[in-house]
Structure 1
């Protein structure tokens, strides 16, 4: 099972659970229109698509014939801070998600602590610029944030022990709290989602997640992924 820790904190995760189909599935989903079917070339070294089938995938992507790319399905388990998850979930077409439900789960919350505090960009849509707070303030702010997280975890635990319903106790948790969900989507969905979060205006942390997803899905569908990422707009 392929697993990545995009934020490098030992908590964040992108995990490949399973998938259905391959590049040939895309080809035959297109060829069925003419009641035709392709097969892989084979020899002692392995199996691969025929040249004509690779060209067909390129043609489909370039001309936005996207329906064949909806047939392959990929299932991932993603662990991400809530403030990032809300942006990732902006992509909704061709995907189904099932999230950990803190109405029932009362495990101690885990929170993301950014290793660096970037400064705001002059251009609002860019989010953050290349500059950072000074080293002294960086260190002091990190201590303050960790203290805040610790106090919130303590308060949350006390509320649970006192019998407060978890569905209400979770209201005190910060947006930095990690959440986890299973995401099953089409090949085309993942191309669009990753394209949205790897563009020049994408948040750095989301870009790291998108790169991890790209490594997984692109490795499973190399021909289709290359063609789609060349031609598909986010």
Structure 2
């Protein structure tokens, strides 16, 4: 009986450990009610607030983002960047989805850079997915994404190539913000999402809220569209 109790405790501890998200450092707290949480690369105009540590791998990216979002909003962060982790020899290690740190910032809305007329097609966390872009067959690897440049004079048709699948038509527009699409169902319902949830759904191609899309393209790898 004691042995069984010990095993149950060990499993519970491992489950908790695999999903641990902590505010690793807090320098400042910014008092704002903004809901956005965007990725930035240029932090020169941003106020550094602290950092959040993700320790342990999880396939549930929705839950993981929700935990990170809650921690970030505790100190008023509306932007983030991936913190490079230095190795003993002075070089930086490759991104590890089981252990990473996000720097947290507050950035004025006018200082958040915009990326117009770009679409990101984001694969699932565990399976390859085949799609077609204007009849060109592409296979996207797990935890990867494609970056498509949209032009005003061109229409791109993205299809999942399934019998009962779906397709979307994309083209450039003046001032159109970046678009993020999941190629699998993350099972978010708009009414219980703390950060905006789904803006658009078309079968198994799902339009994602920008904050969540930016998070996924930060922790996933870009796959070149050759």
The TM tier, using the shorter chain, reads: under 0.3
- Give me the TM-score of the superposition, normalised by structure 2: 0.24
Higher helix share: 1
- Give me the TM-score of the superposition, normalised by structure 1: 0.23
Higher strand share: 2
